[in-house]
Structure 1
């Protein structure tokens, strides 16, 4: 693979997504936070600080998740539907470079979205005089990026061999299941049913453990002390390794697809 060609594809994806006015979603986030910081105290007068802290992170996660899945599943399908994939593969660019470039372009979009939304979130916390740990929130935002990058790899992989609607459904399913894999494993052990236990162990092995990349609760309710540095590095490496594995699968499938 040639880095320069991958960079060109990633740049085109980034520009195309920005051209589609996806960054206007930031304005939507600002409006939601502005309403919430006024309205939430009416419903939770004694705990509004924690409620707004949690609300801001959850809304950021939901918005970026929707962006990730809907864009990720369409990156390849859109090229196929418009038949522009024929022009793309006719150029001196490999299919692995196409997948890698698409992923890096979407990851760049996510990085920009999360960075800007996190800055806005912190500004609201300052304006509302809401006590918080800035470092913990920043670490949670970084790990949100790792989590969404993994989901982007999931979405691209499904988008390579299924239609957009099915790819979106499967991607959301993986996200939901990935957040409860540890609970599924515990449930299988408690069931005292060997078949159920093997099934939950299988699901735990093949599904991403997204809870390892979710630090929202630590940042909001947690714990002022930072998580152990070794654990952070290990979990980040897990997310990156799983993303690389999914991209390898996507490249393998895409390389054998006929157009």
Structure 2
């Protein structure tokens, strides 16, 4: 990585430095035995295909697809939470970053490149898992609404961008283990922030309503990026195009804000 970064003068190649950092982060994560998760996912699909039909009274196609999407999200969530945070901490502990920042590469470029590499691994995992799900479903005679499925995966990719940026944000100021648990907590709270806001509206407590409103405004509303039910039941259940565009823009903006905060904190961190 160091050789790649120093082969070209940095002042006229910022995006090359970002690309080199991203590609190295991508390869680094692949060495973390990430491919084992693909094997686990394939096993879940095959086992579910065998046990669901006799237990679900004809509803196994929808249950299979729901399980396939839920498993995909959970597995990639753990990669975003644990691998992303460990990747940054490992470079700090091994003093690799001290060497890198003495080279002509800024901390912002370094963190942005690492984000792209980590997110790239998650996107690649989504592609492989999707192909596996489609293949196993075809073997079981299960049809899929590919349009709504792909749209659901696109929004899942945005959700993973938010979680990857959040993981790097937390890793920029705390240990990898704490950062991973903070990321998991953000995922849980983000999926229920809208429910929490609605609960606050039904309770006769101004304090709870205020807390619920603040949490809703601060935490990402990840339920806006959840289209698993729509993928199961098809395009007819999708929100209108305007709502989809706004939700997609929301995901992009939130990921950018988290990444910007991560870069700002990381630039001030003493290494």
Q: TM-score range by the shorter chain?
A: over 0.9
Of the structure 1 ranges 65-74 and 37-46, higher mean CA displacement relative to structure 2 is found in: 37-46
Query: Deviations for 1:81-104, whole angstroms, at most 9, x for unmatched residues?
Result: 212121111111111111100100
The runs of 4+ residues in structure 1 deviating greater than 4 Å are none
User: Is 1:93 the counterpart of 2:117 in the alignment?
Assistant: no
The two structures have a TM-score, normalised by structure 1, of: 0.96
SS in 2 for 1:180: helix
Q: CA RMSD in A?
A: 1.4
For the 8 Å contact 1:75–1:159, the answer to whether it is kept is no
Match of 1:2 among 10, 14, 19: 14
Distance 1:144 1:205 in 2: 21
Correspondence for 1:127: 139
Q: What is the count of residue pairs matched by the alignment? A: 259
For the 8 Å contact 2:82–2:177, the answer to whether it is kept is no
Deviation at 1:225, TM superposition (A): 5.0
Unaligned runs of 5+ in 2: 1-12
Deviation at 1:222, TM superposition (A): 4.9
Deviation at 1:80, TM superposition (A): 1.2
For the 8 Å contact 1:122–1:134, the answer to whether it is kept is no
Distance 2:65 2:266 in 1: 42
For the 8 Å contact 2:230–2:237, the answer to whether it is kept is no
Match of 2:228 among 195, 216, 220: 216
Of the structure 1 ranges 177-186 and 216-225, higher mean CA displacement relative to structure 2 is found in: 216-225
SS in 1 for 2:52: helix
Match of 1:165 among 177, 196, 199: 177
Alignment of 1:4-153 (within 5 A): 4-153=16-165
Query: Deviations for 1:119-175, whole angstroms, at most 9, x for unmatched residues?
Result: 111112222122331111111111111101110011110011011111111110000
Distance 2:249 2:86 in 1: 27
Distance 1:227 1:201 in 2: 24
Unaligned runs of 5+ in 1: none
Query: Deviations for 1:197-228, whole angstroms, at most 9, x for unmatched residues?
Result: 11000000000000011100111135535432
The two structures have a TM-score, normalised by structure 2, of: 0.92
For the 8 Å contact 1:161–1:254, the answer to whether it is kept is yes
Deviation at 1:23, TM superposition (A): 2.3
Of the structure 1 ranges 151-160 and 217-226, higher mean CA displacement relative to structure 2 is found in: 217-226
